[in-house]
């Protein structure tokens, strides 16, 4: 049997600080930072904030919501995406920003988990246009991916 080797490439931009982002993105990341304050995370003490920009320019915030029955909780990204979907059903997602605060209250790196990537990908498919993802990184820089599909190669579809 022949083996074919492929290499995947992920294109992204890196901004040195939140302030270095374009104005719209800066506002979105600030909304995600603000959303960390609404996290309910007594079990992990990891407060995640997410903010979704819709095509109407409305911003919908979300934060992780935990539960004593652990799997019943929900990540910040899906909280924001599902809130956007249910409150603005005729609007589509344009971008999502994510950040977290650790136990000491410091802003720390956050990158969407696999399940959130799958949900984001479907948001992108519904939008019919690339959804940008802004991820806060260690040290305060921000990584920007222009297309969710690059974050989830070989994704599930039906
Ligand atoms: N969490 C998020 O909110 N987003 C992610 O992408 C990964 C993890 C939350 C879930 C849980 O409340 C806490 O972070 C620790 O895993």
Nearest to 36 by CA among 81, 77, 2: 77
pLDDT tens-digit series, residues 41-52: 999 999 999 999
pTM of the model: 0.96
Verify whether ligand 1 is closer than 6 Å to residue 25 (CB atom): no
- Pocket perturbation via mutation, ligand 1, pick of 36, 43, 44 by most ligand atoms within 8 A of CB: 44
* Catalytic member of 14, 66, 77, 109: 77
Query: Rounded CA gap, 59 and 53, in Å?
Result: 5
Q: How many CA atoms lie within 13 A of 49 on its CB side?
A: 23
Nearest to 31 by CA among 67, 66, 58, 4: 58
For the cut 90, the answer to whether the pLDDT of residue 11 exceeds it is: yes
Verify whether ligand 1 is closer than 6 Å to residue 112 (CB atom): yes
- Residue 77 known to be catalytic: yes
């Amino acid at each position: 049997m022949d083996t074919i080797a492929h290499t995947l490439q992920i294109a992204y931009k890196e901004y040195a600080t939140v302030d270095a982002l374009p104005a719209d993105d800066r506002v979105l990341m600030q909304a995600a930072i603000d959303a960390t304050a609404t996290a309910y995370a007594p079990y992990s003490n990891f407060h995640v904030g997410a903010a979704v920009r819709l095509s109407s320019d409305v911003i919908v915030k979300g934060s992780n919501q935990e539960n004593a029955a652990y799997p019943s909780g929900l990540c910040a990204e899906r909280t924001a995406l599902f809130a956007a979907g249910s409150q603005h059903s005729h609007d589509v997602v344009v971008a999502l920003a994510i950040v977290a605060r650790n136990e000491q209250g410091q802003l720390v790196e956050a990158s969407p988990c696999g399940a959130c990537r799958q949900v984001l990908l479907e948001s992108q498919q519904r939008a019919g246009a690339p959804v940008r993802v802004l991820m806060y990184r260690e040290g305060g820089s921000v990584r920007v991916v222009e297309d969710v599909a690059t974050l989830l190669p070989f994704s599930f579809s039906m």
